Structure 1
């Protein structure tokens, strides 16, 4: 080998090593500067922006639950398996006869348009969220009233990434990723015939944030629909965000829909607070500004409310990455969220207290399933928490949230048994779906029928 060639190879090797070192430093995740308690509550720390070229990746490998293993329930509560062997169970609806509907669903197929999309797909696969969508709703039935589903049938299939479900006036209403559909249905039915459905609303599909949740108003006259943004901060242009980052309202009497609230990057849980009657939601905020923010939140949603996305977050902080011009009125009308749930915790399921069904510590407030972070070091979420409210329907100030269900992360926080996703009341018990583990958990209090061994009413055959 000539001296010139040898020198060239040495120089090339040095360049490769230098590039590898530079890339290694670039890919090193930023670590959080605050603990979770500082980033939660009615007056949280709003951390300085720490823009990222690559997110602070902290994906935990899903390892499932062994026989006999369960999450850890708070003192006075018990957790058991209601159903298992499900295919990515997400949203849950408990019917008046005790049957439980669960959407086995996931994101529709996406085209990987660039390196960012490919990295996102890789990360979601690593987190256990990359499986194809089963696109069906399964009916679970506990025929002997022992608190465990012993019957599972496919109620409806051939859907398009279904999520939210409600029952109204002899119809099962299902939110696909691109439309809200209405099917003939009576509780007790074990199948739904094809071809008799109609479409209530068309929804914007594609892009990120595919799941569409729905909730009926207390009087049953309106349907509220959450539609997440197509992107992180409108980077594909605001035309692609038409009809998105919103909660929309459908009026059954007029058969008309309208924009109810906006500026919500990805609203998921929808529930009405029993004392105030207000609509509340859980919101997943934007990424790539560091491991400590922006903060995901729980908030009420008055009609016409705007929470600032993509230009503003947490009322006073501007996101200067957004290229689209900001509406002149926005700064004046952007609202401060009611309660921070932490940074990148991915809050999904939301239900309000059920007359203290789980005990006096849970008499008034909101239960929230925090699905868990994928871009924070150390990881955050991976639990179910309870946010205490006062008698007027507001989160209590200076009162920390209570952990209801934990233990989804392993002790070293390198792996996760599962990820809590959705919440629903089954009489006095709280059902929690665990999508990556394929399980629905039942949380009972000391006074519930299941924990006391009392025989519950058997659902209609």
Structure 2
């Protein structure tokens, strides 16, 4: 692409980003039956990413009434996921993404530059692939210890611990380390590969999440698609856009569910065998298409990608010779829409005692949109559950990551978890912080009784 063409295209993108959405009721795309406008196809899609600026001293996100928030750990290297060990120690998984994909379309280098500005900014912490252990033994929100546990990983995201073994979902494999609870010295022994996962050379959706089955015998890993809508070819999508089931003893694996464009943060609903994920749906088909969603994942289930969205709505970009009406007819409609392009990446269910108003529901980390004229996401939302199923309108719990006046992002939430005491933890990969949310009435010096942490 020559310089003149690049400048012209960049100018067009800036112009598009300055446009406004037509009047649209955003709430109509939250819930089990979202409004789905007609699809659009673009020469240049809307691109509007809030450039990162980080948090100044004393600044923090905004929380719902009755809550308070403070930084548990700062200066991290782009934390993407948080995991609470059974003894209460907290693991903050930080990741540097793999090398960028080859340029295939004129918009690709421009999109890459704009997206990079959302996470890299002057004074920001350089990304690294490591796991940091945070110990807050008395639950007062002031850690006694913050230390590197494992360094030089390969773009990690999900972790899980059982039987003195720490499993890490790198971008290309699930690996295992020997690890005794309470250990704070760095793990230096080589990892044992449990099972490879689809990785490069093209690795479009590189984050791989991980969860243990309720009986502890299996692991479930999420593997996102290798493109937005198969622009890298169907061969590049082999065993991707899926949830994998992995036998923990042997490493044998099978594809558990498919058609999930970019699933993340698998979690079993407490006390059940119901596996839920949040899913990032496809882009470049409209500012209000397609809603990201929360759904229960069924064994053998197909959820539409790439042939259809939100059940059986066919994607017009699939070439006639590649269409699969047999699969579209089987596509499962997701349980609960979260809004278009919110980039839902984090999910945890609340079973603690600190927040009775959130008991049994789901906290969701929404990283924030890029394929919109007006931004969406950039918050932690709560979805109520009734009888183990999402029910009712979502609520904003933590906002203020994006500065609406200046259009910049001080932070972007990713993974969410519940700590030993029932407080909500949030990994903020732009703010390089793990945040902790508690009731405002709770004294900072007096921690509540420990609660059973979610696995």
TM-score by length of 2: 0.90
Where 1:155 maps in the other structure, the secondary structure is: strand
Do structure 1's residue 335 and structure 2's residue 325 form an aligned pair? no
Aligned residue in 1 for 2:103:
113
Residues 66 and 111 of structure 1: is their aligned pair in 2 closer, same or farther, counting only changes over 3 Å? same
Do structure 1's residue 435 and structure 2's residue 432 form an aligned pair? no
Do structure 1's residue 302 and structure 2's residue 298 form an aligned pair? yes
Do structure 1's residue 201 and structure 2's residue 198 form an aligned pair? no
What does residue range 46-445 of structure 1 map to in structure 2 within 5 Å? 46-114=36-104, 115-128=106-119, 133-142=127-136, 145-206=139-200, 207-274=203-270, 276-323=272-319, 325-355=322-352, 357-391=353-387, 393-396=388-391, 399-412=392-405, 414-427=407-420, 428-445=422-439
1:41-63: per-residue Cα shift (whole Å, max 9, x none)? 11110111121222211111222
1:296 and 1:347 in contact (8 A); partners too? yes
Aligned residue in 2 for 1:38:
28
Tell me the distance in 2 between the aligned counterparts of 1:22 and 1:348.
30
Question: How many matched pairs?
Answer: 436
Where 1:124 maps in the other structure, the secondary structure is: helix
Tell me the distance in 2 between the aligned counterparts of 1:53 and 1:366.
37
Post-superposition offset of 1:31: 2.0
Post-superposition offset of 1:105: 0.6
Unaligned runs of 5+ in 1: 1-17
Post-superposition offset of 1:95: 1.3
Higher Rg of the two aligned structures: 1
TM-score by length of 1: 0.88
Where 1:329 maps in the other structure, the secondary structure is: helix
Post-superposition offset of 1:211: 0.5
Unaligned runs of 5+ in 2: 1-7, 451-455
Tell me the distance in 2 between the aligned counterparts of 1:197 and 1:23.
44
Residues 282 and 145 of structure 1: is their aligned pair in 2 closer, same or farther, counting only changes over 3 Å? closer
1:100 and 1:140 in contact (8 A); partners too? yes
Post-superposition offset of 1:19: 10
Tell me the distance in 1 between the aligned counterparts of 2:274 and 2:131.
29
More divergent stretch after superposition (281-290 vs 402-411)? 402-411
1:124-165: per-residue Cα shift (whole Å, max 9, x none)? 211116986411111112256421224221111121101100
CA RMSD of aligned residues (A): 2.5
